[in-house]
Structure formats: C-alpha cells, structure tokens
Amino acid sequence: MKLLDSILGNATGIFTVVIVLIAVIFNYFDDPDPVKYNSMAEDTKTLEENFRQQNKSCFILGASGETGRMLLQDLLGRNIFSKITLIGRRTLTFEDKANENLVQEVVDFEKLEDYAASFQGHDVGYCCLGTTKAKAGTEGFIRVDHDYVLKSAELAKAGGCAEFHLESSRGADKNSNFLYLKVKGQVEAEIEALGFDRFAIYRPGVLLVDRQESRPAEWLARKFFGAVSAVCSTAMSIPIQAVAKAMASNTLLQPEQKTEILENKDIASLGKGAGQ
C-alpha cells in the first residue's frame, strides 16, 4: 500500500510539473496583450443603455449549440435588443418564461434561398453555426461551416443587416493545409467580401465546456487545457461563457475598422470584464 501511495504521489507530482512547463510554453506563444478592452467593465452599463435606446434587433444562428445558447442567455440578461430572432432547423423549447417572447424562424439550410424573409429586417447578426468532421464527415463539415454560414451571411446582407459577428477558430487561415482551419479562413474572407458595415470575427482556442454530446478526444482536450488554464492564461483555450460574453459586449463598442479580428486573448479579456 505504501508503495502504491508513493507511485501515485510521484505521478501526481510529475503531472503537475508537466502542466506548469506546458503552461509556461503556451504563455510564451500567447497572443499579444489586448489593448482596447481593458476598461470595458467600467463602462458596460452606460454602453448598454446607449445601445438599448437605438431600438435594434438581431438574429442568432446556432442557438441550439453551446456558444449560441450562452450568447442568447447573455443577450436576454442585458436586454439590449428590442427583438431577438432565432434562426435554426427546429423550434427550441425553453423553461424560462423570459424566453417566451423570442421569435423563432425554422428553416431548411439546404434550401436557404426559400427562407430569405427570415433574414430580413435585422440590424445585427450572430453566427455560431459549426460542426466537426467526426460528427458530420468531411462533406458535412464543409456544408455546415462554409456553405450554410456563407449563404446565411449573404441573405442577411441582402436583407439589410449591417453588422455580422462570426464565431470562427484560432488559427483560421484560408491558405492552411489543415481542412478545418482552411474552411474557417475561407468563410471569413468570403463574408468580409460581402461588405458589411461591421464584421467581427472571433477566433477562440479550445472551448472549455461540458458538451451534451462530448466525444472522448474532446473531453480529454478540455480537461488538459482546463488544467493548463488553471495555472496561467493561455492562447490555446477559453471558457465558452467568455466567448458569449465577448460577442455580446463587443457589439456595444465602436470598431476602429469595418473588419475586426479578436484572437483568443482579446476574447478572454473582453469576456472577463463584461458585466462585472
């Protein structure tokens, strides 16, 4: 028994040292320190009230997913939009009565052209659509993360939407040799070309969340990066609540340029300060 305790103790010590070393390495390659979001918390209430007076409406794509669900709750809590529309493949049910006034548009993403009316009349659009190759296969992944997202953005732009917020991924690059990052980068570039008055791209790292349909590899990755995050802030991971808060909070700010890219550390800074 003493031998077993000794082995377990040594293993725990080694694991701790490894986590610390990896955290130091990640911190070295971390994103540059965010500049414009540090004072957000002090001005949040004023910004929310000013935005609320503009009587704007928005839509959310992917409200049934992890980020979309969190984003919806954050926006409802702030009460900054006069109307929130959920666009998805099925009607969502909610226990909270605060959600009863939501507008829900059920669409067939394979025939989005037939549902152009669902994308009309919104001031701001949020897109949290996404899947994986493991879940949908290569073709399914491209169809969801590229085709559905791009077509939705096109219809939103044609319908008068001025502002589009896209949840993408850290490392997104249209020239990447990795399919996932290449597709994410391609759709970013193609939406930018549509010419929204404002286009915000969010590139989070590994999303720290207990998914309802968690896969073993994802579970292991979240536990690993969760342990690293406990040691220090890292560019590689982020709590999903912080992503949702950042998307909502950034909406209140005036961008310096039409297209803005928020890397993981920007998202963490903005998400941490929001609503505090």
The reply to whether 28 belongs to the active site is: no
Based on the residue annotation, tell me whether 180 is a catalytic residue of this protein. Answer: yes
In the DSSP assignment, the letter for residue 213 is T
Taking alpha carbons only, the member of 188, 65, 180, 75 closest to residue 129 is: 65
Of the residues 151, 174, 180, 182, only one is catalytic, namely: 180
Mean pLDDT of the chain: 83
List the chain domain ranges: 55-273
Alpha carbon 242 to its chain's center: 9
Report the pLDDT value the prediction gives residue 243, as an integer from 0 to 100.
Answer: 97
Q: Which CATH number fits domain 55-273: 1.10.10.410, 3.30.365.10, 3.40.50.720, 2.60.40.1760?
A: 3.40.50.720
Maximum distance among all Cα pairs of the chain, rounded to whole angstroms: 71
How confident is the prediction along the chain (276 residues), in pLDDT tens digits per residue? 544 445 444 544 454 444 334 444 444 445 555 545 555 555 889 999 999 999 999 999 999 999 999 999 999 999 999 999 999 999 999 877 667 679 999 999 999 999 999 999 999 999 999 998 889 899 999 999 999 999 999 999 999 999 999 999 999 999 999 999 999 999 999 999 999 999 999 999 999 876 544 455 555 554 554 544 444 445 678 999 999 999 999 999 988 899 999 999 999 999 885 444
**What per-residue confidence (pLDDT) applies to 24?**
43
78-117 residues labelled b (16+ CB within 10 A) or e (exposed): bebbeebbbbbeeeeeeeeeebeebebeebebeebeebee
| Residue (of 124, 111, 114, 137) closest to 61 by Cα position | 124
**Phi, psi dihedrals of residue 255, rounded to the nearest 5°:** -70, 155
- From the list 184, 245, 265, 272, the catalytic residue is 184
First to last CA, the chain: 49
